[in-house]
Amino acid sequence: MASIHLDQIGHSYGTAVYALEKTDMHFEDGKTYALLGPSGCGKTTMLNIISGLLTPSDGRVLLGGTDVTRTRTAERNIAQVFQFPVVYQSKTVFENLAFPLHCRGWDRSRIATRVAEIADLLGLTSRLSQSARRLTADEKQLISLGRGLVRNDVAALLMDEPLTVIDPHMKFDLRRRIKQANDQTRHTVVYVTHDQNEAMTFADEVLVMSAGRVVQRGTPQQLFEAPRNLYVGNFIGSPGMNFVRAERLDGDLRLDGVPLVGADRCRGIAPDAEIVLGIRPEHIAFAQGEELGVPASIVSAQDHGSLLVVDVAVGSDRLRMKVRRDVSFPAGQARLRVSSDQVRLYVDGVLVN
């Protein structure tokens, strides 16, 4: 295992526009990271620079403090799992999993023990004697993942959208198994995905990317509770964060005349600044009894199984809220209760508190 340091790394594919803008990034030894963002944001470019499949236009790559920028992929001691499974069709599942260990001169008993451990973690024990040619795409990707996990001497484990071909019903269990395996081996893992559920449930830290830049880095809790800008707030969460214009009156911030944020949180913000309130759908509820609430109109409700996502109009703004199925609410007009301590303030699109 090793730490990874991207020292002022940047990359351009032969144009003036950088696919990955210059960045200085550290990945600690033994931690799991997710690079999260839409297609074309630079996450795979960053991963391929770490692995050596790409030589960066600028900067250095250091593994465990050693400069490997010009070092070939095979010499970096990195395991990489790609989006589409790569297996040896003529070999059995056991032989596929054992192949990286045979190449490193492990003895047979040690190989058998290690392969059995990984096969058990990935649910492949009953298939070890089967030919890889007869397996489904899901099972082949499990083998590809297993070959990355079976080595306990790698500097880092890199995964590029490894669950794309996996059946949706298997993804939750497979993420759990991969994380369980890595908790034992403590690889440094960098995991590329466009799926926030994968990133938030798998990684110790998530790096949200946009247009070749890391726009925020933090734990899943930090990204959810305090998105640094409107992009992250909208990208993280399902549905994403609501953003509404705030009215400033007597120092308070109000929504349709109802105070939501006290003057103490507005200190230092210019009186004429345009402030946007960020409110998670989870932090909005229907007001009860005589409780003061923000007047709203019910627009629609979408059934999400155990929850309803209710679309409401507050003045000219539209908000979404999450409501349990057993919560009754009126048709037409309603009043909303907003958790003031969960409201986030954005000035010029950037979080201030």
CATH of residue 317: 2.40.50.140
Residue 227 sits in the same domain as residue 255 = no
* pLDDT > 70 in the chain, percent: 99
Domain boundary among 219, 235, 251: 235
Amino acid at the residue 302? Q
Residue 20 sits in the same domain as residue 124 = yes
- Compute the Cα dihedral for 48, 53, 54, 55 and give only its sign: positive
Residue 187 sits in the same domain as residue 156 = yes
- Could you give the count of Cα atoms lying within 13 Å of 17 in the half-sphere of its Cβ? 6
Residue 288: which residues within 8 A CB-CB, separation 6 or more?
337
Bigger pLDDT: 291 or 9?
A: 9
Number of domains observed in the structure of the chain: 2
**CATH number for position 26:** 3.40.50.300
Domain boundary among 213, 235, 257: 235
**Angle CA(333)–CA(339)–CA(342) in degrees, nearest 5?**
135
Check residue 187 and give its pLDDT: 79
Check residue 1 and give its pLDDT: 65
The residue segments making up the domain with residue 74 are: 4-235
Residue 58 sits in the same domain as residue 180 = yes
- Compute the Cα dihedral for 153, 157, 163, 164 and give only its sign: negative
Residue 82 DSSP code: -
Q: Are 152 and 100 in contact (CB under 8 A)?
A: no
What is the tens place of the pLDDT at every residue in 212-269?
A: 999 999 999 999 999 999 999 999 999 999 999 988 888 888 888 888 888 888 888 8
Bigger pLDDT: 212 or 183?
A: 212
Residue 194 sits in the same domain as residue 214 = yes
Average pLDDT over residues 166-180: 75
Transcribe 198-245 into DSSP letters.
HHHHH-SEEEEEETTEEEEEE-HHHHHH--SBHHHHHHSTTTT-EEEE
Residue 168 sits in the same domain as residue 277 = no
234: left (phi over 0), alpha (psi -120 to 50) or beta: alpha
Residue 41 sits in the same domain as residue 153 = yes
252: left (phi over 0), alpha (psi -120 to 50) or beta: beta
Q: Does residue 80 have a pLDDT over 80?
A: yes
Domain boundary among 171, 201, 235: 235
Check residue 77 and give its pLDDT: 87
Please give the structure tokens belonging to residue 73: 């992929």
Average pLDDT over residues 319-336: 87
Q: Does residue 134 have a pLDDT over 90?
A: no
Check residue 96 and give its pLDDT: 94
pTM: 0.89
Residue 203 sits in the same domain as residue 347 = no
Residue 124 sits in the same domain as residue 228 = yes
Q: Does residue 191 have a pLDDT over 90?
A: yes
pLDDT tier at 347, thresholds 50, 70, 90: very high
How far apart CA 20 and CA 30 sit, in angstroms, is 25
Instruction: Give whole-number Cα distances, 260 to 15, 24, 246, in Å.
Output: 48, 38, 9
Residue 248 sits in the same domain as residue 141 = no
Please give the structure tokens belonging to residue 200: 């938030």
Cis check: omega of the bond before 162, within 30 degrees of 0: no
Residue 138 sits in the same domain as residue 275 = no
* pLDDT > 90 in the chain, percent: 56
Residue 224 sits in the same domain as residue 314 = no
Bigger pLDDT: 346 or 165?
A: 346
Q: What are phi and psi of 221, to 5 degrees?
A: -65, -45
